[in-house]
Amino acid sequence: MRAVTWHGRDDVRVDTVPDPTIQDPTDVIVEITSTGICGSDLHLIDVLTPFMTVGDVMGHEPMGVVREVGPGVTELKAGDRVVVPFNISCGTCWMCNQGLQSQCETTQNREQGFGASLFGYTKLYGQVPGGQAEYLRVPFGNTLPIKVPDGPADDRFFYLSDVLPTAWQGVQYAAVPPGGSVLVLGLGPIGDMATRVAKHLGAGQVMAADTVPERVARARANGIDVLDRTAQADVVAWVRDKTDGRGPDAVIDAVGMEAHGSPAAKLAQKATAIVPDAIMEKVMQVVGVDRMAALNTAIAAVRRGGTISLSGVYGGATDPMPLMTMFDKQIQLRMGQANVWRWVPDILPLLEDEDFLGVDSFATHHVPLEQAPEAYETFRQKQDGAVKVLLKP
């Protein structure tokens, strides 16, 4: 089959690789019809390159049609339409039963000290072949795939794999009081969707900051109050002005570790290109690098006693955090990979009739899988108005 494979920094290709096969009795093979490129995939061709291996199949936002089921699969049959969550979670362990699917105890990567495996996401998360491919082997066929109705185009259900539960969890973790205020940093797919979910769930005042003109315009067209700057001083002054001088009740960081405004991040990114992987693996896990511009803005902007919710992904173990300020402002901080299945029962009904969240028109680009290298580049460079790119195998 054809699949998007990792070859190095800023280097993905479309290669022919072996078709996946049923390996465990509860496996299913899904023929992929739509598969997304995520902001998290950009980390893999940038700061997380030391954790990748040439030939790894990328992608963790797949949906499609079940073509083959293992002998132990009772809940799905060939022909069923499914969305595949990015967490590989069993659905039956203690963590899954708490709604913490990103910490699934059946797929946790204990040797690496990391949580549940993810499709297409580094040695730290199981090195499982991803979903930017014609076919995908999906384990836990009775509990993991999300069965969705036939009828509407893929775009209606597609975002259940990652963007919707991530944005939903980001808003839930932000604990915005009814009618309260929230600032969303970053208007990529995650931040944009978080503004929509926050409005839907009853936030009174939704503000956002980013600098990419198309992203700013798109959120404004949705009624979001957007500052088209990201410098900390500007953002903090702007939100205070709009919140009686206090700052918003909550801030959602939908940026992550490649925030612009982090000078040392650029150094770390350059270093991953020239320092041997074995060394950079350690460096990226344990050494502090200041690539926390967005998080620092969140800490400065949130009101005293407010909540910060991190959807953006961070690396490093000793990034300096302004702990004194966080303590003094009595900030609450929540974060983590989205627990996809935790939120599916809340979100799926919203997709069944009216398009409340605007998912049908959320993608800016639909391109053939064969054009993945160009599509990655367009998304990475934020060119051509690219906010969300769906690949079509």
Ligand X SMILES: NC(=O)c1ccc[n+]([C@@H]2O[C@H](COP(=O)([O-])OP(=O)(O)OC[C@H]3O[C@@H](n4cnc5c(N)ncnc54)[C@H](O)[C@@H]3O)[C@@H](O)[C@H]2O)c1
Q: Considering only residues 38, 176, 331, 359, which one is a binding residue for Zn ion as defined by CB under 5 A? A: 38
255 binds, among ligand X, Zn ion, none (CB under 5 to 8 A by kind): ligand X
Token pair recorded at residue 117 = 């495996």
Three-state DSSP state, 381: coil
Determine how many CB atoms are found less than 10 A away from the CB of residue 94: 11
Q: Which helix (H) or strand (E) holds 13?
A: strand 11-16
Contact yes or no for 29/68 (Cβ under 8 A): yes
Instruction: Give the interface size with Zn ion as a residue count (CB under 5 A).
Output: 9
Q: How far is the CB of 66 from ligand X (least distance, A)?
A: 25
Candidate segments 12-20, 100-108, 191-199, 240-248, binder of Zn ion by CB under 5 A:
100-108
* Nearer to ligand X among residue 50 and residue 189 (C-beta): 189
Measured torsion, CA atoms of residues 256, 257, 262, 264, in degrees rounded to the nearest 10: 170
Determine how many CB atoms are found less than 10 A away from the CB of residue 297: 26
C-alpha span between 211 and 293 (Å, rounded): 14
Q: Considering only residues 96, 124, 209, 310, which one is a binding residue for Zn ion as defined by CB under 5 A? A: 96
> Does 93 participate in binding Zn ion (rule CB under 5 A)?
yes
Query: For binding to ligand X (CB under 6 A), which residues are involved?
Result: 38-40, 42-43, 162, 166, 185-191, 209-212, 215, 230, 254-256, 259-261, 293-294, 297, 311-313, 337-338
* Nearer to Zn ion among residue 157 and residue 207 (C-beta): 157
Q: How far is the CB of 282 from ligand X (least distance, A)?
A: 21
SS (H, E, C) 28-94: EEEEEEEEEECHHHHHHCCCCHHHCCCCCECCCCEEEEEEEECCCCCCCCCCCEEECCCECCCCCCH
Nearest 5°: CA angle at 52, between 47 and 56?
Answer: 135
* Nearer to ligand X among residue 50 and residue 191 (C-beta): 191
> Does 387 participate in binding Zn ion (rule CB under 5 A)?
no
Contact yes or no for 168/250 (Cβ under 8 A): no
* Nearer to ligand X among residue 61 and residue 80 (C-beta): 61
Q: How far is the CB of 243 from ligand X (least distance, A)?
A: 18
> Does 154 participate in binding Zn ion (rule CB under 5 A)?
no
* Nearer to Zn ion among residue 124 and residue 331 (C-beta): 124
Q: How far is the CB of 302 from ligand X (least distance, A)?
A: 14
Footprint on this chain of Zn ion (rule: CB under 5 A): 38, 40, 89-90, 93, 96, 104, 106, 162
